Amino acid sequence: MHSFGYRANALLTFAITILALMCAMASLSDNFNTPTPSAQVQVLNINWFQKQPNGNDEVSMTLNISADLQSLFTWNTKQVFVFLAAEYETPKHSLNQISLWDGIIPSKEHAKFWIHTSNKYRFIDQGSNLRSKEYNLTMHWHVMPKTGKMSADKIVMSGYRLPAEYR
Amino acid sequence: MGWIGETMDSIKSLQIRQVLTQAVSLGMIVTSALIIWKALMCITGSESPVVVVLSGSMEPGFKRGDILFLHMSKDPIRAGEIVVFNVDGREIPIVHRVIKVHEREDTGEVDVLTKGDNNYGDDRLLYAHGQLWLQRHHIMGRAVGFLPYVGWVTIIMTEKPIIKYILIGALGLLVITSKD
């Protein structure tokens, strides 16, 4: 009844139960945090804007991104993945999302940042619809926990417009 | 003589009963594991609700040996989500992040491009030859939850099968020899 195996089993089961419970509580505690992040993006320059030989429009731009994501961090946050996407509609596609820049924020100290960059990924349309196209720039973030549920949210910034002519 | 025969009979019946009980309890363990797995499949709508991260392409977010919980809903795929996808001609599913989405107006079909957070370029090199985009049917699910380190158990077991056999043998021995 009270053999070594029996006691070892009871101890192991108890330890795993407590560990699972602590993981669940850590994940649930994230719900008490109500983040208030902010972001601003400026398009400083359209570097070039042309139609590829295969008929798709491509644009290269210089961006100025500043954001304060410190409020997203809790004790259960391993990192925050943040990216800026251009989002627009075309007659053929009801939604186009193109990631222009992304970054990994490892800690709260790095969560308030300012960056001056050209687009990291190519901004290519499926077709030739980008001339004087109005688009949104959306700052998305993805909170990766030490354990438990992942969460994501975004800030939509609207009212950006591409030039009417290739350059 | 009658007395010995009676004792033998009682011992035999006892053993048979004990063996049966143990077989039933072993069966209960196996079936309950199966039930939990199938129930997870029903709840999450994904054919493999739990996956183990095998590569470092999503570091530092996901490391080798971490476990991801998947969910497959009817919701459309959006940029930034971490999806698990199968590429034609590759057996092992890949866990990467969506960076581009083009959704068709008429049919609602999506063209998706993915990239690993830790990789330099996008995934077009990993896709089948000449494939530029992933479609809906390539995607098995999106990652919703995360548990570190637990996946090492399966990685060790698949890479060192001898440990698996030792473990199964030891557990089997324990079940057979245990007395209630």
Q: Looking at chain B, which residue has its C-alpha nearest residue A124?
A: B100
> CATH class for domain A35-161?
mainly beta
- Whether B161 maps to a domain, the answer reads no
| A58 part of contact set with chain B, CB < 8 Å | no
Domains in chain A: boundaries? 1-32, 35-161
**How many structural domains comprise chain B?**
2
Amino acid present at B75: D
| Same-domain status, B70 and B125 | yes
| A147 part of contact set with chain B, CB < 8 Å | yes
Q: Is the ipTM of this complex over 0.90?
A: no
Tell me the average pLDDT across B33-44.
90
| Same-domain status, B57 and B133 | yes
Tell me the average pLDDT across A84-91.
92
Per-residue pLDDT tens digits for B63-122: 888 988 888 888 888 998 999 998 888 888 889 999 999 999 888 889 999 999 888 888
| Same-domain status, B38 and B85 | no
| Same-domain status, B66 and B125 | yes
| Same-domain status, B28 and B68 | no
| Same-domain status, B90 and B137 | yes
**Structural element, H or E, at residue A87:** strand A77-88
CB B75 within 8 A of CB A94: no
Q: Which domain holds residue B28?
A: 1-44
| Same-domain status, B73 and B100 | yes
Q: d(Cα B176, Cα A18) in Å, to the nearest integer?
A: 29
Tell me the average pLDDT across A4-9.
84
A103 exposure class (CB count in 10 Å sphere: 0-12, 13-18, 19+): middle
Per-residue pLDDT tens digits for A125-135: 988 888 889 99
> Does A89 have pLDDT greater than 70?
yes
Residue A166 to chain B, least CA–CA distance (Å): 22
Nearest CA to A82 out of B179, B79, B121 is that of: B79
**Helix orientation angle between B161-177 and B152-159, rounded to the nearest 10 degrees:** 110
CB A102 within 8 A of CB A83: yes
Per-residue pLDDT band for B10 (boundaries 50, 70, 90) equals low
**Structural element, H or E, at residue A11:** helix A4-29
- Whether B165 maps to a domain, the answer reads no
Q: d(Cα B22, Cα B20) in Å, to the nearest integer?
A: 5
pLDDT, chain B, mean: 85
| Same-domain status, B67 and B3 | no
pLDDT of residue B36: 92
Per-residue pLDDT band for B11 (boundaries 50, 70, 90) equals low
Residue A5: strand, helix, or coil:
helix
- Whether B162 maps to a domain, the answer reads no
| Same-domain status, B66 and B95 | yes
Residue B61 to chain A, least CA–CA distance (Å): 7
| Same-domain status, B148 and B63 | yes
Query: What separation, in Å, do the N-terminal and C-terminal C-alpha atoms of chain A show?
Result: 84
Q: What CATH number did the domain enclosing B148 receive? A: 2.10.109.10
> Does B5 have pLDDT greater than 80?
no
> Does B180 have pLDDT greater than 60?
no
Q: Percent of chain B at pLDDT above 90?
A: 16
